[in-house]
Amino acid sequence: MIKIAICDDDDFICNQLKNILIDIEDIYLEKLDIKIFHSGIELDHSIQHRGGYDIIFLDIEMEQMNGVEVGKKLRNEYEDETTQIIYISSMENYAMELFQVRPMDFIIKPLTYEKISEVLDTAFRLISKNNEIFRYQTGHAVCKIPLKDILYFESVNRKINIITGSKKDIFYGILNNIYRELQPYNFIYIHKSFLVNYNHIVRFEYKQVTMSDNRVLPISQQNRKSVRSLQLQMERNR
């Protein structure tokens, strides 16, 4: 089941979007749990007390707590990098405000079945990737971590540090082998010592990236061109 939140202070937009999603549900054969909220405060309260959502359709122009504020709180305070945020607005001039929220997409009103179907198809694909598991061995124990929780891998001699939002673990391995396994899931080789999860990069620069844990990692000189190319390719595919 895919959990979807619709947050807009316009009741007509909420019901229109819900009806489109119900129609799409029959085509994708994917059960959707749809909740409607008419303010950012309502949505934030639900996330705090009932848990998060897989997809959020989020209006920007709302009183008290607008959509940008909700998105920043989700990413920064709740450290949620996997919820697919799709902004909906009647205005186009929000590029800089939305950069820090890292939304999946931005839809200009009026809403249409075609617009919603296209972004939902991308969201389903990303959610499917996020549900994959990485397995590794430490001693006699086999450990499993969802790919969505992995920020990056760091190679130190023959040891691999695996960094998640809450902990670091160490196992023996070869970074290049991990890269070959995880390349289809948006992991990027930025340096001979670092393999990073693209979904946890919050800032791209020519020589470095900033991860969602605020650590700055170097992009090696020989990888800068390929990293830039991969970044553009992934942005086009989102």
CA angle 191, 195, 198 (to 5 degrees): 110
Examine the pLDDT at 193 and tell me if it is beyond 70: yes
Residue with tokens 């948006």: 186
Average pLDDT over residues 201-222: 92
Return the higher-pLDDT residue of 91 and 238.
Answer: 91
Burial status of residue 102 (CB atoms within 10 A of its CB: 0-12, 13-18, 19 or more): middle
Pick the closest to residue 67 from 91, 93, 88 (CA basis).
Answer: 88
pLDDT value of position 96: 61
79: left (phi over 0), alpha (psi -120 to 50) or beta: left
CA angle 91, 44, 166 (to 5 degrees): 110
Categorize the per-residue pLDDT at 25 as very low, low, confident or very high, splitting at 50, 70 and 90.
confident
pLDDT value of position 125: 84
Q: Which helix (H) or strand (E) holds 48?
A: helix 40-50
Distance of CA 205 to the CA centre of its chain: 19
pLDDT value of position 163: 95
Q: Provide the edge-to-edge strand list for the sheet that holds 208-211.
A: 201-204, 208-211, 216-218
pLDDT value of position 128: 80
Categorize the per-residue pLDDT at 233 as very low, low, confident or very high, splitting at 50, 70 and 90.
confident
Q: Which residues contact 163 (CB under 8 A, 6 or more apart)?
A: 150, 151, 152, 153, 154, 213
Average pLDDT over residues 200-219: 91
Task: Tell me the pairing of strands 201-204 and 84-89.
Answer: unpaired
The mean-pLDDT minimum among 25-39, 89-103, 116-130 falls in: 89-103
Examine the pLDDT at 238 and tell me if it is beyond 60: no
Q: What is the largest CA-CA distance in the chain?
A: 59
Q: Show the domains of the chain with their CATH numbers.
A: 2-130 (3.40.50.2300), 133-237 (2.40.50.1020)
Average pLDDT over residues 15-27: 91
Cβ–Cβ under 8 Å, residues 81 and 101: no
Residue with tokens 């998105």: 71
pLDDT value of position 221: 94
Distance of CA 233 to the CA centre of its chain: 16
How far does the chain reach from its first CA to its final CA, in angstroms?
22
Average pLDDT over residues 134-141: 88
**What is the average pLDDT score of the chain?**
89
pLDDT value of position 236: 64
Categorize the per-residue pLDDT at 110 as very low, low, confident or very high, splitting at 50, 70 and 90.
very high
Categorize the per-residue pLDDT at 237 as very low, low, confident or very high, splitting at 50, 70 and 90.
low
Q: Omega before 184 cis (within 30°)?
A: no
Average pLDDT over residues 52-74: 93
Query: How many CA atoms lie less than 13 Å away from 57 in the CB half-sphere?
Result: 31
CA dist 186 and 168 (Å) reads 20
Return the higher-pLDDT residue of 39 and 127.
Answer: 39
